[in-house]
Amino acid sequence: MTKNIMIVGVGGQGTLLASKLLGYVLLGQGYDVKVSEVHGMSQRGGSVVTYVRYGEKVYSPVIDRGEADMIISFEKLEAARWLEYLKPGGLIITNTQEMEPMPVVTGAAVYPEELVEKMRAAGARVDAEDFLALAVQAGSPKAVNIVLLGRFSRYFPEITEEDWQQAITAVVPKKFLELNRRAFAMGKGA
């Protein structure tokens, strides 16, 4: 059975590195894996999404509405935007950070309130926390992607700590290795 994970956020938040690391870890578990992303126009501070699919044999590179087992979200509004892609009872891990999109900044739209509660009421399991604060504590706000993966690892006990560490070493640039190890531990442990 193919499993579906979406990584969503705002262009520039480091979603691509997170999907690369996740794909690497899942391949190491012996799964067939497909990772799909969109480059270009959508990266300039726009809404971004990456699809990660794994299983015995994966066909489609994308995840459709009602198919995601899990959504990892770097920003709260983005979690809500992609909610309809989640299966009923699926899990959302979301950063509670709010980044106002331009229509909100200019006053043409409002940033909805109590999104976490509303997503729960709609039938999603939600693990929400200020992961940005944890990243800052680990040493850099840019490490929020690895903090989120640390939290993600809690829900996948079958993937060993050793496998995660090996993947981080393989994917992350060497000079940021220690920072990202700390970030991963903080996400997992918090």
Partner 1 sequence: MLGNKAVARGMYEAGCRVVSSYPGTPSTEITEEAALYDEIYCEWAPNEKVALEVAHGASLGGVRSACAMKHVGLNVAADPLFTVSYQGVNAGFLICVADDPGMHSSQNEQDSRHYARAAKVPMLEPSDSEEALLFTKRAFEISERFNTPVLLKMCTRVSHSQSVVETGERIVPPQVPYVKDPAKVMMTVNSRNAHVRVEERTRELIAYGESCDLNRVEMGDTSLGIITSSTSYQYAKEVFGEEVSVLKLGLTYPLPEKLIIDFASKVERVVVLEELDPILEDHCRRLGIKVSGKDIFPICGEFSQNLVRECLGKEIPETLRIQDAIPGRPPVMCAGCPHRGIFYVLHKKDCMVYGDIGCYTLGALSPLNAMDLNVCMGASCSGLHGFNKALGAEGERKSVGVIGDSTFIHSGITGITDIAYNMSNSTVIILDNSITGMTGHQQNPTTGKNLRGEPAGKVDLEALCRALGFDRVRVVDPYDLEQVETALEEELAAEAPSIIISRRPCVMIKGTVHGEPLKPKEDKCVGCKACMKIGCPAISVKDGKVKIDTTLCIGCKVCTRMCKFGALQA
Sites of contact with partner 1 (CB under 8 A):
10-11, 23, 27, 32-47, 58-62, 64-67, 77-78, 80-81, 83-88, 90, 100-106, 108-112, 115, 118-119, 121-124, 141
148 closest CA partner among 177, 122, 184, 106: 184
Nearer of residues 102 and 189 to partner 1, judged by Cβ: 102
Query: What amino acid occupies position 64?
Result: D
Name the 3-class secondary structure at 14: coil
Nearer of residues 87 and 188 to partner 1, judged by Cβ: 87
- In whole angstroms, the minimum distance from the beta carbon of 56 to partner 1 comes to 11
Nearer of residues 19 and 153 to partner 1, judged by Cβ: 19
- In whole angstroms, the minimum distance from the beta carbon of 184 to partner 1 comes to 21
Torsion from C-alpha of 50, 53, 54, 57, nearest 10 degrees? -140
Burial (CB count <10 Å: 0-12, 13-18, 19+), residue 9: buried
- In whole angstroms, the minimum distance from the beta carbon of 41 to partner 1 comes to 4
- In whole angstroms, the minimum distance from the beta carbon of 180 to partner 1 comes to 18
Tokens 């200020």 correspond to what residue? Answer: 130
- In whole angstroms, the minimum distance from the beta carbon of 96 to partner 1 comes to 16
CA angle 46, 42, 88 (to 5 degrees): 75
Residue 62, number of CB atoms within 10 A of its CB: 14
Q: Compute CA 158 distance to the chain's CA centroid, rounded to the nearest angstrom.
A: 19
Tokens of 171: 């994917």
- In whole angstroms, the minimum distance from the beta carbon of 60 to partner 1 comes to 4
Name the 3-class secondary structure at 92: strand
Nearer of residues 29 and 161 to partner 1, judged by Cβ: 29
Nearer of residues 115 and 147 to partner 1, judged by Cβ: 115
Nearer of residues 22 and 186 to partner 1, judged by Cβ: 22
